Chain A
């Protein structure tokens, strides 16, 4: 199994290297290498799933670690950790990856960066598998950053578009904020435990190595990384902008896998979380779920709606983990990956068709992503329509879909939590509120896009269904949005009792008694919360769908008049609560102002006074030294010596007459002098 795990990790890396160096020289720009690698990892993940199903041991795990760095008593171990959660996540990641790779063959056809695109996809797959397989914080963080990097590369894939390259930078920088918090958290743990390995950390924390307040701080800080990566409030701003990337990338990175990395990481560190950290996590998740859903309601860009929907659903997962319903959070991660990827692929299919349609109609100004320019598409794109509706039903939480099971589990978890701790009644309110809105905005999107009258008849006539290579992955994902795959071998569509539940058990907490109490309470109330949750969630979902139907299909209620009636609320939602503007005004502008002041200080003061001053002094000094050089050294010493020798030479020349007798005379004189000297 370890061999499979290492292959799953390294195959995409090999594909990335081959693709980057030889991609353009290979036939078909080498797409078969990336696609082949990822399909192979999927096959291996299926094999792994088969093994854990046969074992069906909730405690199953294997580790393979090695020492990477050893300096004195500082040791970093790297390695692979494989348990049921890892295998299921690997399966989800590799499945969605494979489908998106295949879909991309159609979607990216003819793009000049085709080879580069697949190379980046492989890099991303490598990094994502690395996160999933990491056995410790150190390798987790490395792969975490690699995911950030490849996400940056993919969002800014069409780098010649300013909006795309800016979105890439935004995603990277906003993620960095969370990552710094995470790094501090990791260091906090390391400073006490002196280890990055999960198992050793859990053992040490279980033995009480870290004090409760410090553990809470560390837990929240590490969760900060998940806030960034999983786009939780207040670091959610990068995800909607990330939709500038190619749509398959949005479907994959920014809906199914990369954003799930934050949730997955929270799942991994779950035993570490104290009661305090859990409450913070639950509130951040719950608030994000409702907050993002209210924004999604008013957006008109087909991908932006889905982006906010993703943020909202991630909020659900985080809330589930926060209230201690471990299985529900992770379950939603798995089901959401399938139907959200499907929604994005459907949106991509629509955009692809709209793009071609607009081009055929000679219209280059209309935005192919604006839902107001669509309408009636179900007649032209029946497969896209059907799969989109299935996914929308799943995300709204309608029975017989996977979304119903996981969402129901989360909502009952939050309700159970509120029953156990009545003062936290806000959490289920967030949850159910978001559920109404989810159903509403999803069906608003369907009615606006696929129903009603076409906005532009010429464009509509040019529309056609997307190619097979795009349709087939959507069909597969649509079938995976049905409940049956998740409850097997049970056939009850209303409860998630099946292989999944039996394989994913909440790990025992190591964070102390209070966290354990918190969990026990929730477990105790789960049964009690189940039935009311089911009734409530089905009714709120139906209510949302009904509202969308009345607004956008029957036009019984006019969206515009209601928008006017709700006035400020509508504008708040339409402008995304002005969060971007707030960051712009509150953080970016002051920061830029400080930067500019620094620049001015640097240019005006520092440069003019210190640097220029140095220059003036240096010039004076060099003038002086030049004077010394010219006058003293050159004139006096060099030329002086030359002249002296010249003069001495011409003086000595006078003696050298060439007459032997003169020389002789001088010799005699010298001899007489020597005699005189010796005698007297």
Chain B
């Protein structure tokens, strides 16, 4: 078992946990946290492939971009959740069904 495999397994576990959180949680904040886990699982992959692969620093750069994007996304998403809470007095995603056709 070499080092890359260890990182990939870690990333896969993180990804699965993130997916699980997104799917099972009803709380919008928890879903957002799941998404963060997924994004970071991807980041670990980027960095791991960059470190052990033949490529240069592209992976690390990408990871930084993802972190920036995740921050932006979290800001927007939290704003939405806040508005949701303001309007519906809940952060439960199942109750936010006003757009349902």
The interface of chain A, by Cβ under 8 A from chain B, is 658-661, 664-665, 668
Q: Are A661 and B97 in contact (CB under 8 A)?
A: no
Q: Are A660 and B93 in contact, with the CB atoms below 8 A?
A: yes
A661 and B23 contact, CB distance less than 8 A = yes
**Inter-subunit contact A658/B100 (CB<8 Å):** yes
Residue of B nearest to A665 (CB): B23
- Once the chains are docked, how many angstroms separate the CA of A571 from the CA of B93? 125
Which residue on B lies nearest to A662, using beta carbons? B23
Contacting residues of chain B (1-58) with chain A, CB-CB under 8 angstroms: 19, 22-24, 31
**In the complex, A30→B93 CA distance in Å?**
102
Distance A668 CA – B22 CA, assembled complex (angstroms): 11
Chain B residues within CB distance 8 Å of chain A: 19, 22-24, 31, 93-94, 97, 100-101
Q: Which of B23, B94, B101 contacts A664 (CB 8 A)?
A: B23
Q: Measured between alpha carbons, how far is A668 from B97 in the docked complex, in Å?
A: 22
Q: Does B100 lie within 8 Å of A664, measured CB to CB? A: no
Separation of A661 and B31 alpha carbons in the complex (Å)? 9
Q: Given the complex, which residues of B lie within 8 Å of A658, measured CB to CB?
A: 97, 100-101
A659 to chain B: closest CB distance in Å? Answer: 6
The answer on a CB contact under 8 Å between B19 and A659 is: no
Q: Which residue of A lies closest to B16 (CB)?
A: A668
Identify whether the interface residues of A are mostly helix, strand, loop, or mixed: helix
A659 to B94 CA separation, bound complex (whole angstroms): 6
Chain B residues closer than 8 Å to A664, beta-carbon distance: 19, 22-23
Residue of A nearest to B100 (CB): A658
| 14 A-B pairs with C-beta separation under 8 A | A658-B97, A658-B100, A659-B93, A659-B94, A660-B93, A661-B22, A661-B23, A661-B24, A661-B31, A661-B93, A664-B19, A664-B22, A664-B23, A665-B23
Extra A-B contacts (15), CB below 8 Å, given A658-B100, A664-B22: A658-B97, A658-B101, A659-B93, A659-B94, A660-B93, A661-B22, A661-B23, A661-B24, A661-B31, A661-B93, A664-B19, A664-B23, A665-B23, A668-B19, A668-B23
The distance in angstroms between the C-alpha atoms of A660 and B28, with both chains bound, is: 11
Shortest distance from the beta carbon of B19 to any chain A beta carbon, whole Å:
6
- Cα A658 to Cα B101 with chains together (Å): 8
Bound complex: CA of A659 vs CA of B22, how far in Å? 12
Minimal beta-carbon separation of A208 from chain B (angstroms): 104
Assembled-state Cα–Cα distance A48/B24 (Å): 124
**How many Å lie between the Cα of A664 and that of B22 in the bound state?**
8
Bound state CA distance, A660 and B24, in angstroms?
Answer: 11
Closest residue of chain A to B101, judged by CB? A658
CA of A665 to CA of B19, assembled, Å: 9
List B contacts of A668 (CB < 8 A): 19, 23
Q: Which residues of A contact B23 (CB under 8 A)?
A: 661, 664-665, 668
In the bound complex, what is the Cα–Cα distance between A617 and B100 (angstroms)? 60
**How far is it, in angstroms, between the C-alpha of A664 and the C-alpha of B21 when the chains are bound?**
11
In the bound complex, CA of A661 to CA of B96 (Å): 12
Docked pose: A658 CA to B100 CA in angstroms: 6
Q: Residues of A contacting B97 with CB < 8 Å?
A: 658
Q: Which of A658, A661, A665, A668 has the most CB of B within 10 A?
A: A661
- B31, closest chain A residue (CB): A661
Kindly list the 9 A-B residue pairs having the minimum CB-CB distance in the complex, ordered from nearest: A658-B100, A665-B23, A661-B23, A664-B23, A658-B97, A668-B19, A664-B22, A659-B94, A660-B93
Residue of B nearest to A663 (CB): B23
Q: Which residues of A contact B93 (CB under 8 A)?
A: 659-661
State the Cβ distance, A653 to closest chain B Cβ, in Å. Answer: 12
What is the distance, in angstroms, from A662's C-beta to the closest C-beta of chain B?
Answer: 8
Residues of A contacting B100 in the complex (Cβ-Cβ under 8 angstroms): 658
Hey, which chain A residues are within 8 Å of B101, CB to CB? 658
Q: How far is the CA of A52 from the CA of B55 in the complex (A)?
A: 130
What's the nearest-Cβ distance from chain B to residue A415, in Å?
121
- In the complex, the chain A residue whose C-beta lies closest to that of B25 is A661
Least Cβ distance of A535 to chain B in Å? Answer: 128
Shortest Cβ gap from B14 to chain A (Å): 15
Give the distance to chain A from B41, nearest Cβ to Cβ, in Å.
Answer: 14
Determine the distance from Cα of A396 to Cα of B88 in the docked complex, in whole angstroms: 133
- In the complex, chain B residues whose CB is within 8 Å of the CB of A661: 22-24, 31, 93
* In the bound complex, CA of A193 to CA of B31 (Å): 112
A660 nearest in chain B by CB position: B93
Q: Whole-angstrom distance between the alpha carbons of A664 and B25 in the complex?
A: 12
Q: How far is the CA of A270 from the CA of B10 in the complex (A)?
A: 131
The minimal Cβ–Cβ distance linking A229 to chain B, given in whole angstroms, is 94
Instruction: Report chain B residues within 8 Å CB of A665.
Output: 23
Query: In the bound complex, how far is the Cα of B46 from the Cα of A62, in angstroms?
Result: 120
Residues of A within 8 A of B31 (CB): 661
Nearest-neighbour CB distance to chain B for A581, whole angstroms, equals: 97
Chain A's closest residue to B19 (CB) is: A668
Measured CA separation A477–B21 after assembly (Å):
132
**B94 / chain A contacts, CB cutoff of 8 Å:** 659
- How distant is B96 from chain A, measured CB to nearest CB, in Å? 9
A171 to B97, CA, bound (A): 99
Bound complex: CA of A661 vs CA of B94, how far in Å? 9
In the bound complex, CA of A664 to CA of B97 (Å) = 16
By beta carbon, the residue of chain B nearest A656 is B101
A664 to B93, CA, bound (A): 13
A668 to B23, CA, bound (A): 10
Give, as a whole number of angstroms, the nearest-CB distance from B15 to chain A. 10
* Identity of the chain A residue whose Cβ is nearest the Cβ of B99 in the assembled complex: A658
| Distance from A166 Cβ to chain B, minimum over Cβ atoms (Å) | 86
> In whole angstroms, how far apart are the Cα atoms of A658 and B94 in the complex?
9
Q: How far does the alpha carbon of A345 sit from the alpha carbon of B22 in the complex, in Å? A: 124
Which residues of A have CB within 8 Å of B24? 661
Query: With A and B bound together, what is the CA distance between A467 and B97 in angstroms?
Result: 112
Q: Which residues of A contact B19 (CB under 8 A)?
A: 664, 668
Residues in chain B near residue A660, CB distance under 8 A? 93
Query: Closest A-chain residue to B22, C-beta based?
Result: A664
Instruction: Report how far A665 CA is from B24 CA in the complex, Å.
Output: 9
Q: How far does the alpha carbon of A665 sit from the alpha carbon of B93 in the complex, in Å?
A: 15
